[in-house]
């Protein structure tokens, strides 16, 4: 049997029981690669539970910087008897199984085509510690030490990380260091050259930062000037609101008075969250909510009001597996249609699709400018994969010369100067009317905001022409939005390509790795990353210039494809869906295999004989 | 219903308040509610209260839900911004508006369907949070705009216009507001302007969650024998409402009740409403006592009105959140954005 040999390019998966303290040990392990200059991309695959259920932590080590999920497992650290069988099954042939061999297992529990490495973790812990919690916790540090020893992770790096983690907590620092050392020594003495996966110092991390998308989005909201946040706890978005709270406590407290330049309300439900956001937006504060699919469903009525009454609001949807309660702790891109057309009646909304924490920050801040400029709800569509996993990304950037775009606000001065004010009057031909804030002027500019139909001067009206005027103007405004939202990003193929590919959001890193693999197999694909809805004409043109375009998504119903057909007028016959929706993040291998198979099938009966793939 | 437009010219002798406004400056559009509707009397009381308090109309923000009552903010304070939100969700929109600009006066107008049925949750939570507002519930026990279904404040045993008897227990909004932590709780009567206007003024002045449940009979759908919220005794039909009344069969009844006494007000149609004027010994700062007296009166079929509870040490949401004195909607980049230098430090901590 040939064992897998690799340097700085492999996948390690930890199978644990949640609540056993494994998370911090696994994170420590992942970070040690970063400190050695090797990019790493960890992913938590966790249950909707606090203690006792299976949880996995998958670490992609990748000097090339492929931060998506690759697919497959080179080394399984099997610490959970509950999931033993499926964990062993998942290992690639020639891969490694590391396990606690304190209690012997029959040969039938193993595989012939993998390398098995046993270490008596329980035995060592029981011999060293008396406290049962310590026995459990240090088992995790012990295996980190052993793995470091076998794989060549520099011990100084891990010691440094442990030092940072327990800074000021000397009582915990020493025993952790000891446990780590014990694991390291055991590996050096008993498991020499047991694993062919090696870490070697590299210089591929650069100035990149390691941050969760939810934390970056929260910072984006803070930098973007959000003062009001209303939310209701829901996985996977809760940590976004909590991060906003933490960041504001540090960065938004007035130094002289100790007063907060922010207000965060944990509301009674999502209806109230969005109500608070809409009320604040109506009154001129930058406000947002963070939620997930079920929250969007509840918010839909208010979203329609905000669309029709033209009130700025920012909604961050950290998507998870639906429908219904679905898979609350798993990732999907399955709220695209729901958000694009949220609410009753004819509605359309601006959507932003960040690919990583860097864009969560950037688009998080930009969403407020868009919402105020367009006077409408703006959705940032992130997901659990980006939101709740630490991801290596470019450092966050802010330009101090940047000014908030408060949109068309009619001031007291403008009213005094005699400017005509019609709340729903299209004065500039871009579909965007002026608005006044409550309290602007004693006698001019007040109006009654309502969800019922009205004329251009905000006077209640059930007259057909008044209604149609408004609805048409809203369409025009949506056209204007095309000029303001982030443009799609093209990754051209090295060779002339007959195929195109459209993808978005968290699919991005796996897509890039797949593109590389495909081109190595002679399949050349031009790739376009869609970053917003409404779609610009460039997206239409991109599809037109390829015979077939793959649309890669993480949902069952090809939701972005539906939007492309429905809203950009694209011929569905030119689009081929590649869909991954089992709740785990899409992998590079999955995309590569799917596209390869389709291309092979298409080439058997080529549509255009003169062109090869 | 009338479509007659109000004349824009004001009579030169109309009295002005301290800031030079006449009552007409506090009016809004012509009401489209049924003639004789109690809600219009409440609007008149609101106009009177704001005028008497010398408040600039544009410093008030009016928010409402959906229903007959929620339409009324269009009919007073025409120079204030108004927001007709979503059914039952006015409290959350008002909370957000209040957070955005703490310097305005917030008036929430709602009905019993809006507050006691679809919006019961938001009603309870806005009281819990102590949002600084005046929350007026125009309570008629019936869904007017959808033509006469019982609402959740309809009393058990009361009869609908079509003869159906309500079997469900009523939601008592003043008891609920007290329970949830409102710091100003009152009940009044749309027809008793003398009682209502001072209550509204006190509620506006209150710095916290102020709630007034105003019984406001529905002349169209809940004004018949067997209803416990039928057309009432007092309807001040004079200039305060400033509108002609063509409702044919009803004439105003006025009542003055003596302190401490129960008065039975016979209605035109034969139904009876009992009212109790608060006694001199009633302690409006005793929350538990108030709850007790409200409950005891309810058992006897009486409706307690007046200022039922006032917390002497009320605090509002901004105090709870320790917010900055300058309204959020006036803060710009300088106040809100920590800048590139800080971001670089944040980046450094993430390596």
3-state secondary structure B214-252: EECCCCCCCCCCCCCCCCCCECCCCCCCCCCCCCCCCCC
Give the nearest partner residue to B333 out of A277, A404, A452, using CB atoms. Answer: A404
CA distance A535 to B131: 41
Give buried/exposed letters for A474-484 (b at 16+ CB in 10 A, else e).
Answer: beebbebbbeb
Residue reference for tokens 């790795």: A513
Distance in Å, alpha carbon of A483 to nearest chain B alpha carbon? 24
Partners of A499 in the beta sheet?
A525, A548
Between CA A586 and CA A25, with CA A15 as vertex, the angle to 5 degrees is 105
Q: How many CB pairs under 8 A join A and B?
A: 223
CA distance B263 to A544: 81
Peptide bond into A323 cis (omega under 30): yes
| C-alpha distances out from residue A559 to A334, A565, A588, B305, Å | 7, 10, 20, 57
- How many alpha carbons lie under 13 Å from residue B347 in its C-beta half-sphere? 17
pLDDT tens digits along B218-252:
888 877 777 777 644 333 322 222 121 222 233 43
Distance in Å, alpha carbon of B234 to nearest chain A alpha carbon? 30
What's the confidence (pLDDT) of residue B267? 33
CA distance A154 to A202: 12
φ, ψ dihedrals at A536, nearest 5°: -80, 165
Which residues touch A194 (CB under 8 Å, ≥6 apart)? A96, A115, A117, A150, A187
* The token pair that represents A107 in the structure block: 């040969």
Q: Residue B3: which pLDDT band, with cuts at 50, 70 and 90?
A: low
Residue A311 · residue A375 · CB < 8 Å = yes
CA distance A192 to A78: 20
Q: For residue B98, list chain A residues with Cβ-Cβ distance below 8 A.
A: 279
* The token pair that represents A538 in the structure block: 């460039």
Q: For residue B92, list chain A residues with Cβ-Cβ distance below 8 A.
A: 230, 267, 271-276, 279
Q: Residue B323: which pLDDT band, with cuts at 50, 70 and 90?
A: very high
Q: Residue B270: which pLDDT band, with cuts at 50, 70 and 90?
A: very low
Distance in Å, alpha carbon of A49 to nearest chain B alpha carbon? 28
Dihedral angle sign, alpha carbons of residues A226, A231, A237, A243: positive
Question: Inter-chain contact A252–B336, Cβ cutoff 8 Å?
Answer: yes
B130 conformational bin, left if phi > 0, alpha if psi -120 to 50, beta if neither: left
- How many alpha carbons lie under 13 Å from residue A596 in its C-beta half-sphere? 15
φ, ψ dihedrals at A444, nearest 5°: -125, 150
* The token pair that represents A546 in the structure block: 């390829």
Going by their DSSP bridges, the two strands A54-62 and A9-17 should be labelled as antiparallel
Domain, as residue range, for B269 = 23-322
Partners of A96 in the beta sheet?
A75, A115
- Residue A432 neighbours by CB distance under 10 Å: 21
**Which one-letter DSSP state was computed for residue B296?**
H
- Report the topology of domain A211-393: Rossmann fold (3.40.50)
CA distance B155 to A603: 76
Between CA A297 and CA A299, with CA A298 as vertex, the angle to 5 degrees is 95
What does the mean pLDDT of chain B come to?
83
Output the furthest CA–CA distance in chain A (Å, rounded). 89
For residue B258, what is the domain's CATH number? 3.40.50.970
pLDDT tens digits along A13-53:
999 998 888 999 999 999 999 999 999 999 999 888 888 88
Between CA A13 and CA A15, with CA A14 as vertex, the angle to 5 degrees is 115
Q: For residue A305, list chain B residues with Cβ-Cβ distance below 8 A.
A: 85-86
User: Which CATH code is given to the segment(s) A6-198?
Assistant: 3.40.920.10
CA distance B192 to A171: 72
Q: For residue B125, list chain A residues with Cβ-Cβ distance below 8 A.
A: 267-268, 272
- Hey, is B261 helix, strand or coil? coil
Quick one: angle between helices B38-52 and B193-205, nearest 10?
Answer: 50
Residue A291 · residue A217 · CB < 8 Å = no
Q: For residue A441, list chain B residues with Cβ-Cβ distance below 8 A.
A: 58
B15 domain-assigned: no
CA distance A216 to A235: 17
Peptide bond into B272 cis (omega under 30): no
Give the nearest partner residue to A283 out of B97, B338, B350, using CB atoms. Answer: B97
- CATH classification number, A489-604, choose in 3.30.465.10, 3.40.50.920, 3.40.50.1100, 3.30.530.20: 3.40.50.920
Between CA A199 and CA A141, with CA A169 as vertex, the angle to 5 degrees is 35
**Which one-letter DSSP state was computed for residue B118?**
I
pLDDT tens digits along B84-127:
999 999 999 999 999 999 999 999 999 999 999 999 999 999 99
Give the nearest partner residue to B324 out of A259, A403, A451, using CB atoms. Answer: A259
Residue B119 · residue B91 · CB < 8 Å = yes
pLDDT tens digits along A163-177:
999 998 988 899 999
**Which one-letter DSSP state was computed for residue A189?**
H
Quick one: angle between helices A132-151 and A155-165, nearest 10?
Answer: 150
A211-393 with A489-604: one CATH topology? yes
* The token pair that represents B315 in the structure block: 């605090």
Residue B242 CB burial class (10 angstroms; 0-12, 13-18, ≥19):
middle
Residue A332 · residue A304 · CB < 8 Å = no
- Residue B118 neighbours by CB distance under 10 Å: 18
What's the confidence (pLDDT) of residue B5? 63
Which residues touch A489 (CB under 8 Å, ≥6 apart)? A528, A529, A531
Q: Which residues of chain A have pLDDT under 50?
A: 605-609, 612-613
Mean pLDDT score, B153-179: 92
Parse chain A into domains and list their residue ranges.
Answer: 6-198, 211-393, 412-484, 489-604
How many structural domains compose chain B? 1
φ, ψ dihedrals at B350, nearest 5°: -110, 20
- Which of B123, B121, B110 is closest to B66 using CA atoms? B110
CA distance A110 to A13: 17
Residue B44 · residue B245 · CB < 8 Å = no
Residue B22 · residue B14 · CB < 8 Å = yes
User: Chain B residue with minimal CA distance to A436?
Assistant: B81
Q: For residue B347, list chain A residues with Cβ-Cβ distance below 8 A.
A: 207, 209, 395-396
Question: Inter-chain contact A451–B85, Cβ cutoff 8 Å?
Answer: yes
Between CA A429 and CA A236, with CA A488 as vertex, the angle to 5 degrees is 105
What's the confidence (pLDDT) of residue B7? 67
Q: How much of chain B exceeds pLDDT 70, in percent?
A: 82
**Which one-letter DSSP state was computed for residue B117?**
I
Which H/E stretch holds residue B268?
Answer: none
Residue B294 · residue B191 · CB < 8 Å = no
| C-alpha distances out from residue B340 to A395, A401, A441, A525, B263, Å | 11, 10, 36, 38, 70
Which residues touch A443 (CB under 8 Å, ≥6 apart)? B58, B79
Question: Inter-chain contact A260–B323, Cβ cutoff 8 Å?
Answer: yes
* The token pair that represents B47 in the structure block: 């106009």
Say if residue B271's pLDDT is above 90.
no
Q: Which of A217, A228, A279, A409 to mutate to test the interface with B (most CBs of B within 10 A)?
A: A279
B13 domain-assigned: no
Residue A12 · residue A58 · CB < 8 Å = yes
SS3 content of chain B, % helix, strand, coil (to 5): 35, 20, 50
B187 domain-assigned: yes
What's the confidence (pLDDT) of residue B4? 56
């Amino acid at each position: 049997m040939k064992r897998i040999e690799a340097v700085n390019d492999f996948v390690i998966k930890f199978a644990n029981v949640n609540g056993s303290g494994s998370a911090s040990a696994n994170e420590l392990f992942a970070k040690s690669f970063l400190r050695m200059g090797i990019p790493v991309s960890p992913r938590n695959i966790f249950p909707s539970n606090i203690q006792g259920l299976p949880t996995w932590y998958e670490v992609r080590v990748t000097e090339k910087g492929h931060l998506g999920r690759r697919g497959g497992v080179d080394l399984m650290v099997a610490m959970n008897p509950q999931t033993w069988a499926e964990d062993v099954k998942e290992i690639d042939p020639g891969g490694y199984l590391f396990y606690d061999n304190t209690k012997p297992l029959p040969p039938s529990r193993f595989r012939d085509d993998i390398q098995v490495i046993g270490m008596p973790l329980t035995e060592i812990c029981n011999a060293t510690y008396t406290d049962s919690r310590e026995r459990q916790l240090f088992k995790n540090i012990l295996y980190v030490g052993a793995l470091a020893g076998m794989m060549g992770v520099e011990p100084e790096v891990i010691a440094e990380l442990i030092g940072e983690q327990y800074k000021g907590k000397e009582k915990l620092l020493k025993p952790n260091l000891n446990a780590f050392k014990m694991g390291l020594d055991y590996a050096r003495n008993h498991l020499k050259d047991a694993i062919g996966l090696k870490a070697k110092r590299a210089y591929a991390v650069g100035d990149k930062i390691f941050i969760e998308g939810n934390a970056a989005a929260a910072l984006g909201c803070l930098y973007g000037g959000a003062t009001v946040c209303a939310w209701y706890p829901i996985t996977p978005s809760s940590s976004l609101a909590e991060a906003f709270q933490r960041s504001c406590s540090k960065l938004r407290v007035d130094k002289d008075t100790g007063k907060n330049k922010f207000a965060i309300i944990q509301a009674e439900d999502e209806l109230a969250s969005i109500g608070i956001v809409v009320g604040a937006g109506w009154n001129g504060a930058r406000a947002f909510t963070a939620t997930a699919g079920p929250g969007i469903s509840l918010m839909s009525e208010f979203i329609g009001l905000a669309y029709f009454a033209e009130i700025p609001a920012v909604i961050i949807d950290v998507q998870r597996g639906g429908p219904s309660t679905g898979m609350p702790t798993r990732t999907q891109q399955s709220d695209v249609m729901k958000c694009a057309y949220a609410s009753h009646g004819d509605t359309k909304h601006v959507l932003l699709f960040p690919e990583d924490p860097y864009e969560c920050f950037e688009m998080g801040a930009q969403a407020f400018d868009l919402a105020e400029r367009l006077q409408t709800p703006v959705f940032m569509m992130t997901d659990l994969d980006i939101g709740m996993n630490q991801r290596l990304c470019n450092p966050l950037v802010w330009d101090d010369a940047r000014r908030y775009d408060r949109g068309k606000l009619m001031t007291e001065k403008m009213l005094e100067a005699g400017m005509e004010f019609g709340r729903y009057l299209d004065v500039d031909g871009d579909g965007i009317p002026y608005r006044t804030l409550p309290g602007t002027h004693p006698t001019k500019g007040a109006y009654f905001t309502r969800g019922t139909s009205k004329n251009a001067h905000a006077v209640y009206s059930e007259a057909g022409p008044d209604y149609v005027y408004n609805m048409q103007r809203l369409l025009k405004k949506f056209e204007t939005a095309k000029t303001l939202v982030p443009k799609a990003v093209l990754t051209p193929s090295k060779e002339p390509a007959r195929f195109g590919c459209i993808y978005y959001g968290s699919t991005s890193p796996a897509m890039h790795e797949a593109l590389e693999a495909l081109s190595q197999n002679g399949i050349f694909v031009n790739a376009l990353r869609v970053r917003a809805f409404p779609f610009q004409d460039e997206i239409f043109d991109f599809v037109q210039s390829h015979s077939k375009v793959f649309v890669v998504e993480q949902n069952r119903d090809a939701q972005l494809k539906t939007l492309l057909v429905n809203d950009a007028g694209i011929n569905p016959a030119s689009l081929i869906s590649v869909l991954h929706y089992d709740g785990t993040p899409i992998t590079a291998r999955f995309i590569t295999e799917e596209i390869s198979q389709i291309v092979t099938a298409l080439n058997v009966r080529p549509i255009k004989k003169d062109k090869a793939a | 219903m009338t479509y007659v437009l109000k004349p824009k010219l004001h009579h030169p002798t109309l009295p002005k308040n301290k800031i030079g406004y006449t009552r007409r400056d506090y009016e809004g559009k012509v009401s489209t509610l049924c003639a004789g509707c109690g809600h219009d009397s409440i609007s008149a009381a609101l106009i009177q209260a704001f005028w008497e308090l010398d408040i600039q109309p544009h410093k008030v923000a009016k928010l409402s839900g959906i229903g007959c009552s929620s339409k009324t903010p269009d009919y007073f304070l025409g120079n204030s911004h108004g927001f007709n939100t979503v059914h039952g969700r006015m409290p959350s929109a008002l909370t957000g508006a209040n957070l955005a600009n703490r310097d305005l006066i917030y008036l929430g107008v709602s009905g019993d369907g809006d507050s006691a049925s679809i919006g019961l949750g938001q009603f309870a939570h806005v009281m819990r949070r102590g949002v600084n507002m005046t929350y007026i519930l125009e309570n008629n026990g019936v869904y007017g705009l959808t033509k006469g279904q019982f609402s959740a404040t309809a009393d058990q045993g009361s009869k609908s216009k079509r003869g159906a008897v309500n079997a469900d227990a009523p939601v008592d909004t003043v008891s609920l507001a007290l329970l949830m932590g409102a710091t100003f709780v009152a009940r009044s009567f749309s027809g008793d302007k003398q009682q209502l206007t001072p209550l509204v003024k006190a509620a506006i002045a209150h710095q916290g969650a102020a709630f007034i449940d105003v019984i406001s009979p529905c002349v169209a759908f809940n004004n018949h024998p067997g209803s416990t919220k039928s057309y009432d005794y007092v309807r001040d039909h004079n200039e305060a409402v400033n509108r002609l009344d063509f409702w044919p069969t009803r004439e105003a009844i006025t009542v003055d009740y003596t302190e401490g006494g129960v008065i039975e007000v016979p209605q035109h149609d034969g139904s009876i409403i009992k009212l109790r004027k608060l006694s001199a010994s009633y302690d409006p700062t005793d929350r538990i006592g108030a709850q007790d007296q409200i409950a005891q009166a309810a058992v006897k079929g009486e409706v307690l009105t007046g200022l039922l509870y006032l917390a002497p040490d009320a605090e509002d949401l901004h105090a709870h959140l320790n917010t900055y004195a300058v309204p959020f909607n006036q803060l710009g980049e300088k106040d809100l954005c920590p800048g590139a230098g800080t971001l670089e430090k944040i980046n450094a901590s993430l390596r």
